[in-house]
Chain A
Amino acid sequence: MMTDNTLENMLDFDHPAHLRAHKFLVEESYVLDRRDFDTWLAMMADDITYRIPVTSTLGTNPHKAGEMDHMFEDRYSLGKRIERLKSKYAWTESPPSRTRHLVSNVACFSTDNDAETRVMSALMVYRTQGADQGPDLICGMREDILRNQAGQMRLAARTVTLDQSVLQTQNLAIFL
């Protein structure tokens, strides 16, 4: 049975699964901000699902027609995006974005799979480019499934729920 993401079920901060998850997130920010995308892709599980749904102001009585995503990725499409960024022709990232992935409020929950931990965290990405682009702020909540693959931590699933319904950065040529 899936445990709920309630405060009572949150793992202690000295729990080994929490420590592993926190370390993973710091390592991930480190490689993303260094634009070491090959290392980042290697941190993804082969069956990764990576999603950034469009946030919409739905009110108390929503109807759910036409749900949309900003990103809806698998290992193949993440790989293609990285291949593109490494080509000479990804003009929008020339000069490359300078990003700072700030991850905080890390909360871990066990799942019904012993090898997997559900990790909630707050994300703030500060983005500038060249001398006159930005700064843009992209904020949201990550909900991750981290998998322990024989001692190696891999990201098996990520959903980033953005705070803005109208995104205020010219594109998502960066990873959140």
Chain B
Amino acid sequence: MENDMNEMDQILEDVRQGWIPSHIYSDAAIFDEEQKRIFSRTWQFMGHVSEVPNDGDYVVRNLLEDSFIVVRGNDTKVRVLLNLCRHRGGKVCRNESGNAQKFVCPYHAWAFKTDGSLAGVPYHQEAYGGTEGLNKKEFGLYRPPHMEIFNGLIFINLDPDAEPLESYLGDFASYLSFYVPDVPGGVEVRGPQRWRFNANWKIGSENFSGDTYHTPQTHASMGAIKLVSSAATSNRKAGVMFAAGRGNGATFRLGDGPGSFEERLGNNGFPKEQIERMRAAWPPEIVALLQQDGLLPSASTLFPNMSLLHISAKIDENDEFAPFTTIRLWMPISATETEMWSWFVVDKAASEEFKRKSYKAYIMCFGTSGMFEQDDIDAWVTLTKMTQGYVSSAVHLHSRMGMNQDGSPLNEPLEEYSGQGTAHIGFNEYNQRRWLNFWAEHLEMDPPAHPIRSGAE
């Protein structure tokens, strides 16, 4: 479609009212704007420090079409390097992970150290006239203008003028520290599983922001085979949705009002030693959320495309529960295709038995073969396909739950809520609209300065 500014203004106005022009989920012109205005200025998750435990360990990660190497240098520092040879643009690392002392371009053998510096240029003296002609110091691998680490999670930002990660996260940091707790020794991750499906990247991001309304229907099979408790399926309406910083998320109802922290976690498969470690590691407001309000975070999204999830499932015939946590990226390939990167996260110091049970629960529920995830993605693939029709692409989809006809809120945020940010109880789409408002805000802003064209180092 033609996307002149008036059309874009109208799209954003509609979205803000909870009326979503369906083509935003499949329109290549919209995706083009998203690349230039959203992924270029938001903090993007690259991986976890436990994926590169030793000097020289690296993993290769994509941000849209750009390839980055996340590598631990010989000075033990983790860096993120653009995987592009400064000579003729070769891909200097073609593996997904490994250990290296140098990255040597297969094309003309320029060699880069794990700190990104250019160490070797064949025939440097004869062909280039030595340092006079080519100063190797000026031709290291590019680095994104910003990299920051939060509880071991490695983020980059391509905008030279980006706000610091801490202020970007805002109050969502509290919830991020629930999923990825600051435990002594840290967490470890397994994965990622990577797979592609024909759905727009926004749908999963929105869903994880607070769509508990889909659970009783989309995931009816989970209740039918008794894989999870009613808090995770039929009783999702009793949960609370929170909005904090650049993140939004949902909670499970594990009890009414004050109750025992130990008992509530114990019922969800936390062994005694994990209960104590989580009590010490989680932010006090997360402990209070469970103890005072009977709530535990379930799914969340950090704008734009990083989601997190915590849930418990039955892992054997004896009805034993085990909890698990996953981090995932909805990485767009195009307007109509997404590559999912999904990691499993666990406390590194947990017992091998707990790790095994938690991993088992993850594989059963989420990821490529996950019995929850299968039905989610199926719905989103169908939706994406549907929005491409000549007629269907012009339909305004309804995202006004919790909104009166005149646009005023149907109900107010909770007055008493122990967690960070604001919260609404029951089914609503406040969070999805909040996510879409971030989206609209970004599409209205001019694209940020380019990390290389603007001359930033």
Q: Which residues of A does B touch, CB under 8 Å?
A: 52, 54, 56-63, 65-73, 76-77, 80-81, 83-84, 87-92, 132, 165-173
Contacts and interface: CB of A to CB of B under 8 A. Distances in A.
B186 to A, nearest CB: 13
A57 B363 contact: no
B190 A67 contact: yes
Contacts of A65: 50-53, 57, 97, 188
Given A70-B367, A90-B221, A91-B218, A63 B360 contact: no
A173 B375 CA distance: 9
A2 to B, nearest CB: 25
- B50, B317, B368, B381 — most chain A CB neighbours (10 Å): B368
A52 B363 CA distance: 11
- Dominant secondary structure at the B interface: mixed
B344 interface: yes
27 contacts: A57-B97, A58-B98, A61-B100, A63-B99, A65-B57, A65-B97, A70-B368, A71-B368, A72-B360, A73-B363, A77-B315, A80-B371, A84-B221, A84-B227, A90-B375, A91-B378, A92-B377, A165-B96, A166-B194, A167-B196, A168-B196, A169-B195, A171-B370, A171-B374, A171-B377, A171-B378, A172-B369
B194 A167 contact: yes
Nearest to B380: A170
Given A62-B97, A77-B315, 10 more contacts: A54-B194, A57-B97, A63-B57, A66-B343, A67-B190, A68-B344, A70-B193, A80-B364, A84-B224, A173-B369
Contacts of A172: 368-369, 374
Contacts of B50: 65-66
B6 interface: no
A66 B189 contact: yes
Contact of A170 (B191, B195, B224): B195
Given A63-B97, A65-B57, A166-B194, A80 B369 contact: no
Nearest to B100: A61
Contacts of B379: 91
B33 interface: no
Contacts of B188: 65-66
Contacts of B189: 66
Contacts of A52: 369
B359 interface: yes
Contacts of A88: 220, 224
B190 A66 contact: yes
A65 B54 CA distance: 10
B19 interface: no
Given A70-B193, A167-B194, A80 B225 contact: yes
Given A62-B99, A83-B225, A166-B339, A70 B369 contact: yes
Nearest to A72: B363
B195 A168 contact: yes
A170 B194 contact: no
A172 B220 CA distance: 19
Contacts of A63: 53-54, 57, 97-99
B441 interface: no
Given A65-B51, A77-B364, A166 B373 contact: no
A89 B227 CA distance: 14
A167 B340 CA distance: 10
B98 A61 contact: yes
Interface of B: 50-54, 57, 94-100, 188-198, 218-222, 224-225, 227, 315-317, 339, 343-344, 359-360, 363-364, 367-371, 373-375, 377-379, 381, 385
Contacts of A68: 190-193, 343-344
A170 B96 contact: no
A62 B196 CA distance: 25
Contact of B98 (A62, A80, A90): A62
Contact of A71 (B224, B315, B316, B369): B369
Given A59-B95, A132-B385, A166-B196, A76 B375 contact: no
A54 B193 contact: yes
Task: Give 4 closest A-B pairs by Cβ, nearest first.
Answer: A92-B378, A59-B95, A167-B195, A89-B221
A6 to B, nearest CB: 28
A161 to B, nearest CB: 15
B433 to A, nearest CB: 26
A128 to B, nearest CB: 14
B369 A171 contact: yes
A76 B378 CA distance: 25
Contacts of A71: 363, 368-369
B374 A92 contact: yes
A76 to B, nearest CB: 5
Contacts of B191: 54, 66, 68
A59 B98 contact: yes
Given A57-B95, A91-B378, A76 B317 contact: yes
Nearest to B363: A72
Contacts of A56: 96-97
Contacts of A59: 94-95, 98
Contacts of A132: 385
A81 B385 contact: no
